[in-house]
């Protein structure tokens, strides 16, 4: 059944051009499963014609990623399509989502986005470096001030009374020892709605070492509140990495 579904969704042509190849996918697959399309493109740039042999080998190579994408069962990951929120994160509700309200999601901080992301720290000398490469933001401790925030302010009248979902992929190397200050030695998502109390890495893991995982906060915004701050907090030793941040307004059935 999976093979038939793939055949119905994909249009693939093969033409050997040395070590390069190009994969052409049907528009329906691109829209519904962009991670799989990226995996296809990553095969380099040769064009494929679907013979049984070619299809078998391609399917064997891509099947694990495809199954995880189609089933939405990859550990700790959210679906790639921002218009449909994760069932596991949303208690099996079927939700649609707005566009991403965050800008400069690759952390370029250039041109019109020079001030989109703002870094703040406790006080004193600069104690954290922030560098971005290929859409990944690295936040690394370089001195002794206890904490830093990298956050973006979102102002939108639609926030009033709405339910939002803030999501990002994070990787951590945040040792709990030695103790550097009196705050919790953690790092992760940061969210502050209006003048309410900020959420500071209220997820697990948020300390020690972990590989890339998707984390999220779902929050109901009080009536009359039309702004919030979303980003990342680092108050440990070591480094925290972030990529693919998203903040959307949910409409759940």
Is 76 a member of any domain? no
pLDDT at 103 over 90: yes
Same domain, 126 and 226: yes
Same domain, 153 and 53: no
Lowest mean pLDDT among 2-16, 155-169, 232-246: 2-16
Q: How many helices (H) and strands (E) does the chain have?
A: 4, 13
Same domain, 139 and 224: yes
Is 119 a member of any domain? yes
* 210: CATH: 2.60.120.260
Q: Between 163 and 38, whose confidence is greater?
A: 163
Q: Which of 199, 248, 229 is nearest to 116 (CA)?
A: 229
- Angle at the Cα of 80 from the Cα atoms of 78 and 83, rounded to 5 degrees: 100
Same domain, 144 and 37: no
Structural tokens at position 4: 């038939």
Same domain, 110 and 197: yes
Per-residue pLDDT reduced to its tens digit, 194-248: 999 999 999 999 999 999 999 999 999 999 999 999 999 999 999 999 999 999 9
Same domain, 102 and 66: no
Same domain, 133 and 210: yes
Q: Which long-range contacts (CB under 8 A, 24 or more apart) does 121-130 make?
A: 121/145, 121/147, 121/148, 121/149, 122/146, 122/147, 122/148, 128/234
Same domain, 148 and 218: yes
pLDDT at 24 over 70: no
Last residue of a domain, one of 55, 71, 87: 71
SS3 state of residue 114: coil
Lowest mean pLDDT among 83-92, 122-131, 176-185, 228-237: 83-92
Is 27 a member of any domain? yes
Radius of gyration of the chain (CA): 21
Q: Total domain count for the chain? A: 2
Is 219 a member of any domain? yes
Q: Which residues contact 50 (CB under 8 A, 6 or more apart)?
A: 7, 10, 12, 13, 14
Same domain, 109 and 213: yes
pLDDT score recorded for residue 52: 44
Same domain, 171 and 56: no
Tell the residue number behind the tokens 């009196």, with chain if given. Answer: 182
Q: How many CA atoms lie within 13 A of 174 on its CB side?
A: 25
pLDDT score recorded for residue 253: 74
Is 235 a member of any domain? yes
Same domain, 149 and 233: yes
Residue 16: give the domain boundaries: 2-71
Same domain, 47 and 114: no
Is 197 a member of any domain? yes
Is 87 a member of any domain? no
pTM: 0.65
How far apart are alpha carbons 173 and 176 in whole angstroms? 10
Is 109 a member of any domain? yes
């Amino acid at each position: 059944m999976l093979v038939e579904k793939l055949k119905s969704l994909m249009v693939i042509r093969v033409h050997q051009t040395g070590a390069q190849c190009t994969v052409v996918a049907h528009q329906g697959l691109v829209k519904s499963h962009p991670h799989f399309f990226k995996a296809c493109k990553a095969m380099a740039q040769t064009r494929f014609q679907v013979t049984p042999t070619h299809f078998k080998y391609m399917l064997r190579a891509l099947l694990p990623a495809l199954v995880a994408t189609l089933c939405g069962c990859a550990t700790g990951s959210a679906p790639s399509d921002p218009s449909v929120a994760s069932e596991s994160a949303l208690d099996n509700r079927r939700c649609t989502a707005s566009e991403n309200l965050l800008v400069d999601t690759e952390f370029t901080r250039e041109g019109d986005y020079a001030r989109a992301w703002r870094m703040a720290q406790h006080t004193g000398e600069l104690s954290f470096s922030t560098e971005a490469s290929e859409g990944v933001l690295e936040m690394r401790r370089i001195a002794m001030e206890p904490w830093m925030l990298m956050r973006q302010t979102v102002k939108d009248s639609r926030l009033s009374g709405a339910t939002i979902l803030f999501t990002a992929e994070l990787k951590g190397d945040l040792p709990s020892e030695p103790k550097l200050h009196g705050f919790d030695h953690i790092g992760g998502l940061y969210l502050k709605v209006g003048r309410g109390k900020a959420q500071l890495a209220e997820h697990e893991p948020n300390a020690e070492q972990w590989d890339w995982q998707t984390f999220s906060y779902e929050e109901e915004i009080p009536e009359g509140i039309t702004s919030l701050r979303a980003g990342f907090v680092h108050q440990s030793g070591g480094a925290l990495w972030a990529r693919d941040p998203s903040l959307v307004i949910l409409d759940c059935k």
